[in-house]
Amino acid sequence: MLQDNYGRQFRYLRLSVTEACNYRCNYCLPDGYQQEGRPSFLSLTEIRKIASAFAQAGIDKIRITGGEPSIRKDLPQIIEAVKATPGIKTVALTTNGHRMEKYLDDWVAAGLDRLNVSIDSFDPRMFNSITGHDALESILRALDKACATSIGTIKVNTVLMRQYNLREFEDFLSWIKDRPITLRMIELMETGDNKQFFHDNHVAANELESSLISRGWQRQIRAKSAGPAKEYFHPDFDGRIGFIAPYSKDFCSSCNRLRVSSLGKLHLCLFGEEGYELRPYLDDPEKLIHYIHQVLGLKLPTHYLQEHQSGATKHLAMLGG
């Protein structure tokens, strides 16, 4: 079992497979992905080795993320490889959904268990102004199709922005009235590249939580090992509302995840250091597992986002959120 010096246990790995993204989200990559040098993203073979070592160390869930993971043509092979790793029970994918209509069947056939789709607005014009794309309708169609597949859990991630989608909150609620989907509102996080945007747009989740509670939404009790998201349900709604509120007190005490970047570095926090190179150890699983344990001993109790310190993270496409 992977455990840090503060008693937090880790069964969940977020594995980024590319830094590149086809979207230009205003809070993340407003000018689009700018390649620096000639990055060498993890190969399928390297992904297999990493998944296997982490599984042997106690990880049982791997989320494939990016950048935009569906940019990789071998995404179905990646899903299949992770799924085939002894010890891995759950393979999840986080995507902007742009290529979902075309490739969903391949992802399902490869064994995908969980799907998170990022949709920051249900208004096509607003969606375009946030992401730079006119893809909302295709994404929503694909999402409805996904609900009818063997994928067990489907979530939609929405980053809250005061000057953009906050006014759509009631529409978000209507959307989950008859859909068994968890809509997760993510607090905008400050990164190296978005300081002014963060200042203008950050909305604290508790502003919305108190409004939901006053309207009969109830907090779902979740195991501490389920991670830092909070979830609310309402008897009149098929869907649920979740909140990821990294600025709230004690957020980090329930941290349950580790991250590996597409460049093969282990990151102990989304807002931490430059990462620890795993590539030199990939051909020696024992050494690799030993190194992972050793590095985990360096994990700090908390991030310092409240003090506006976002570490080495310029934008979340670097690490996969």
Q: Can you give the binding site for ligand SAM, defined by CB under 6 A?
A: 21, 27-28, 65-66, 68, 94-96, 118, 157, 159, 186, 188-189, 191, 194, 316-317, 320-321
A 10 A CB-CB count for 241 gives: 24
Q: Which is nearer to ligand SAM, 52 or 313 (CB)?
A: 313
CA distances from 14 to 5, 71, 72, 234 (A): 21, 17, 16, 30
Minimum Å gap between C-beta 7 and ligand SAM is 27
Q: Which is nearer to ligand SAM, 160 or 288 (CB)?
A: 160
How far apart, in whole angstroms, are the C-alpha atoms of residue 314 and residue 48? 28
Minimum Å gap between C-beta 46 and ligand SAM is 19
Nearest residue to ligand SAM, using CB?
A: 321
CB 271, CB 316: distance < 8 Å: no
Nearest residue to 200 via CA among 173, 171, 164, 168 = 164
Minimum Å gap between C-beta 111 and ligand SAM is 19
Minimum Å gap between C-beta 16 and ligand SAM is 8
CB 175, CB 158: distance < 8 Å: no
Q: Which is nearer to ligand SAM, 233 or 247 (CB)?
A: 247
Q: Which is nearer to ligand SAM, 8 or 315 (CB)?
A: 315
Q: Which is nearer to ligand SAM, 275 or 320 (CB)?
A: 320
Minimum Å gap between C-beta 69 and ligand SAM is 7
DSSP strand pairing (2-3 vs 9-10): antiparallel
CB 76, CB 106: distance < 8 Å: yes
